[in-house]
A and B are shown apart, each in its own frame.
Chain A
């Protein structure tokens, strides 16, 4: 089960209601819409994908609703390898908030994190933000751009697969933020002594 070679942390941000949770669930479970109660107690979802014969494990973190009142914990951003900033193409306010989100990302995430701008809900008829406007915004801020529909499953697989491929490429060229270089996993039950200079994870 644990025969993956790479593990990447991917986090989603953006206004409440833009479809972050739906994107994660669509990709990891193929569900839409996700059952309501099911959100409780879910911290991040995991899906293993294959990139060129290599198994890559994506650990996808959702906001736990803390974006509603602008209270995402800083640690949510820490150690992230990729960051998906989502807005709703049928809602101008969710697009107008992007600069605020960028400021928060600048503050707490590593400058090397892979950033993707996603315009979600393209299945909707009442589009308010034309595709080229989103694309230009992304270009101006050095981000990839993709439009998706969690509902119709448009581009969802592509979004995460592209992230996995990109991160793999970076990992090969060693251009990735290296969070785990000297971190160690410590199992609380077996109590091992490690090189004292190491960073420890308690589990």
Chain B
């Protein structure tokens, strides 16, 4: 494209990961001039979603560039520390069907075929060719995420009005691996009572615990340095209940500190009942939509976007970032923000690396068949030294795979390698060889395709002190189930750049924007402001009125109580008096009797 970039910006952002994209939106939103570039042709970096063919084209890329200028003030972007590693994928179905597949068959026909085939209950119909043909229907996340219905991230989507760029589906069920079975995790009051595997006594225990978590301060007094597991065990919960609460509701591990465990459990419980039966939402068409939603907002507010840019490097001056070189253009900016994979190696202090093990499967049916298509979250607890694993199973309705197959994501902290880390789970839940298929094993889903890789968890990476003060680095994907950490991180960087500006104030709806003569617009604005103020005032008054009503109610209540008490007292007194009188009378009578006896 023969367009030139402007020569100067307020902030240049390199990389379109989630945190970079949130920052991009936040900066554009408050009127900063933003240039946002990515060397990839797609949005999201390691947070992106890919179709089937595209994800198989990803490489264990080595992208370190050597600075070709001898100037020590010119640094090349990128390092080789945060690449995706151990990529290994494979089709577990025959490469080609024996059935004739006419070349000019168009998509619709394929779709129809699938429908028919599934009605025949013939599971072997998926072959490599057909999967590739429907490649476009897949949106496969490198880093699948869920969102707590009342987490910081969802609140930000709503408060900033970014929610309008994407659609969500709620997770419809949560399962956990317990006693060699997949079991539904009871997470709400009704779940607890509907669960037949939980005894009545356990139900009572669980409800009591869930209620008591609200009184966190008191509960955790003696658990400052203890784990949440110890806390739960001390509560004398049965082992099943400890399992539900520890690995399920609090999404914790054996080592999670008590306070953290309680906070996580509370976040889970607070998010219940907002959008569905579980606390979680999934963004339709994959998690890769999330960075794009923020980028769209950034563009709407003037941010300039360019993908597929051959980024070269940047120049320092006086130990500060000065300018960026891209396509032989030199562009100045006050701040530089980049994803950690774009940071020159010299600024990375720690050499130790944590990895996230990933496995992605395409299967022919759900792990737990159900009439309606489910969006399933599975907590697979630690087992024989294997890490805690999160599994997300997505169906057609999420827009991430074609009809009649499921997309399964496994996520865990890497221990040895993705294959080894998940082997025990794959063996238990799926069938992955022709051999096994032949054994009439019809219960479990068949794996049609598998993909393994390791993704760097760069969230604990330390940077050197000589990193210029106007350069900000965003870590890559983390192990968290949600984006709340990314929001916190983005906010922190934003506040460092612009301490006095608001972070993502609500973007106006199209109906609210009045376009035309500037004067008229100004006037309209003022009127709107005034109207707003009046509304605010009205609200306040309503609030006050409410409070007064409340107070009045309270007073009435108190008075009623008092009146009641008085009445009761009076009654009591009356009774007492009657008794007294009676007693007196009796006494008198007895006295009289005595008298008579005498």
Say whether B510 contacts A69, CB under 8 Å.
no
- Cβ of A197 under 8 Å from chain B: yes
Q: A2-38 vs B: 1/0 string, CB under 8 Å?
A: 0000000000000010000000010001010011011
Say whether A203 contacts B300, CB under 8 Å.
no
- Cβ of B275 under 8 Å from chain A: yes
- Cβ of A171 under 8 Å from chain B: no
Say whether A29 contacts B515, CB under 8 Å.
yes
- Cβ of B301 under 8 Å from chain A: yes
Q: A45-B510, A74-B292, A193-B273 are in contact. Are A202 and B299 (CB under 8 A)?
A: no
9 tightest CB-CB pairs across the interface, nearest first? A69-B306, A188-B158, A202-B163, A64-B299, A73-B292, A196-B276, A71-B305, A71-B307, A196-B277
CB distance from B546 to the nearest CB of A (A): 17
Checking A35, A75, A198 against B293 with a beta-carbon cut-off of 8 angstroms, the contacting residue is A75
- Cβ of A137 under 8 Å from chain B: no
- Cβ of A133 under 8 Å from chain B: no
Report 10 cross-chain contacts, Cβ distance below 8 Å, ordered by A residue. Answer: A41-B508, A42-B515, A44-B510, A64-B296, A69-B3, A71-B307, A188-B159, A198-B169, A199-B397, A202-B154
Q: A70-B307, A200-B169 are in contact. Are A42 and B300 (CB under 8 A)?
A: yes
Checking B295, B301, B515 against A35 with a beta-carbon cut-off of 8 angstroms, the contacting residue is B515
Residues of B within 8 A of A194 (CB): 170, 275-276
- Cβ of A183 under 8 Å from chain B: yes
Residues of B within 8 A of A198 (CB): 169-170, 276
Known: A66-B299, A74-B288. 12 other contacts (CB 8 A): A41-B300, A43-B510, A65-B302, A65-B304, A65-B305, A68-B305, A73-B292, A74-B289, A75-B285, A75-B289, A193-B274, A202-B154
Q: A177-203 vs B: 1/0 string, CB under 8 Å?
A: 000000100101001011011111111
- Cβ of A127 under 8 Å from chain B: no
Say whether B305 contacts A42, CB under 8 Å.
no
> Which B268-282 residues sit within 8 Å CB-CB of chain A?
273-278, 281
Say whether B296 contacts A73, CB under 8 Å.
yes
A71 vs B305: C-alpha distance when bound (angstroms)? 6
- Cβ of A107 under 8 Å from chain B: yes
Minimal Cβ-Cβ distance residue in A for B291 = A73
Say whether B285 contacts A78, CB under 8 Å.
yes
Say whether A75 contacts B165, CB under 8 Å.
yes
Minimal Cβ-Cβ distance residue in A for B3 = A68
A176 vs B264: C-alpha distance when bound (angstroms)? 43
Q: A99-117 vs B: 1/0 string, CB under 8 Å?
A: 0000000010001000000
Q: A75-B166, A198-B170 are in contact. Are A46 and B510 (CB under 8 A)?
A: yes
Say whether B301 contacts A41, CB under 8 Å.
yes
CB distance from B461 to the nearest CB of A (A): 28
CB distance from A50 to the nearest CB of B (A): 19
Residues of B within 8 A of A43 (CB): 164, 300, 507, 510
Say whether B168 contacts A75, CB under 8 Å.
no
A203 vs B278: C-alpha distance when bound (angstroms)? 19
A interface, over-half SS: loop
Residues of B within 8 A of A42 (CB): 300, 510, 513, 515
Say whether A193 contacts B275, CB under 8 Å.
yes
Say whether A70 contacts B1, CB under 8 Å.
yes
> Which B46-70 residues sit within 8 Å CB-CB of chain A?
none
Residues of B within 8 A of A188 (CB): 154-155, 158-159, 163
CB distance from A100 to the nearest CB of B (A): 11
Chain A residues with CB under 8 Å of chain B are: 16, 25, 29, 31, 34-35, 37-38, 40-46, 64-66, 68-71, 73-76, 78-79, 107, 111, 183, 186, 188, 191, 193-194, 196-203
Checking A16, A38, A70, A107 against B308 with a beta-carbon cut-off of 8 angstroms, the contacting residue is A70
- Cβ of B489 under 8 Å from chain A: no
Say whether A200 contacts B281, CB under 8 Å.
yes
Say whether A201 contacts B292, CB under 8 Å.
no
Residues of B within 8 A of A75 (CB): 165-166, 285, 289, 292-293, 296
Say whether A200 contacts B302, CB under 8 Å.
no
Residues of B within 8 A of A79 (CB): 167
- Cβ of B10 under 8 Å from chain A: no
CB distance from B63 to the nearest CB of A (A): 20
Residues of A within 8 A of B161 (CB): 203
CB distance from A163 to the nearest CB of B (A): 18
- Cβ of B487 under 8 Å from chain A: no
- Cβ of B439 under 8 Å from chain A: no
- Cβ of B136 under 8 Å from chain A: yes
Minimal Cβ-Cβ distance residue in B for A39 = B302
Say whether B306 contacts A71, CB under 8 Å.
yes
CB distance from A74 to the nearest CB of B (A): 6
Checking A41, A68, A76, A191 against B304 with a beta-carbon cut-off of 8 angstroms, the contacting residue is A68
Minimal Cβ-Cβ distance residue in A for B284 = A199
Say whether A111 contacts B107, CB under 8 Å.
yes
- Which of A68, A73, A197 has most chain B Cβ within 10 Å? A73
- Cβ of B511 under 8 Å from chain A: yes
Q: A78-B285, A202-B163 are in contact. Are A40 and B302 (CB under 8 A)?
A: yes
CB distance from B507 to the nearest CB of A (A): 7
Residues of A within 8 A of B515 (CB): 25, 29, 31, 34-35, 38, 42
A45 vs B167: C-alpha distance when bound (angstroms)? 20
Q: A29-B515, A42-B515, A202-B163 are in contact. Are A186 and B275 (CB under 8 A)?
A: yes
Residues of A within 8 A of B170 (CB): 194, 196, 198, 200
Residues of B within 8 A of A68 (CB): 1, 3, 304-306
A111 vs B253: C-alpha distance when bound (angstroms)? 46
Q: A41-B300, A46-B510, A68-B3 are in contact. Are A200 and B275 (CB under 8 A)?
A: yes
Say whether B511 contacts A46, CB under 8 Å.
yes
Q: A75-B166, A201-B168 are in contact. Are A40 and B301 (CB under 8 A)?
A: yes
Q: A75-B292, A193-B276, A196-B170 are in contact. Are A203 and B158 (CB under 8 A)?
A: yes
CB distance from A24 to the nearest CB of B (A): 11
Say whether B157 contacts A202, CB under 8 Å.
yes
A26 vs B446: C-alpha distance when bound (angstroms)? 55
Residues of B within 8 A of A31 (CB): 515-516
CB distance from B289 to the nearest CB of A (A): 5
A201 vs B168: C-alpha distance when bound (angstroms)? 6
Q: B539-577 vs A: 1/0 string, CB under 8 Å?
A: 000000000000000000000000000000000000000
Residues of A within 8 A of B302 (CB): 40, 65
CB distance from B156 to the nearest CB of A (A): 10
A196 vs B171: C-alpha distance when bound (angstroms)? 8
CB distance from A34 to the nearest CB of B (A): 7
Q: A41-B508, A43-B510, A71-B305 are in contact. Are A199 and B300 (CB under 8 A)?
A: no
Residues of A within 8 A of B507 (CB): 41, 43
Residues of B within 8 A of A191 (CB): 273-274
- Cβ of B500 under 8 Å from chain A: no
Minimal Cβ-Cβ distance residue in B for A107 = B136
Q: B164-194 vs A: 1/0 string, CB under 8 Å?
A: 1111111010000000000000000000000
- Cβ of B428 under 8 Å from chain A: no
- Which of B167, B172, B284, B285 has most chain A Cβ within 10 Å? B167
CB distance from A190 to the nearest CB of B (A): 10
- Which of B168, B172, B300 has most chain A Cβ within 10 Å? B300
- Cβ of B373 under 8 Å from chain A: yes
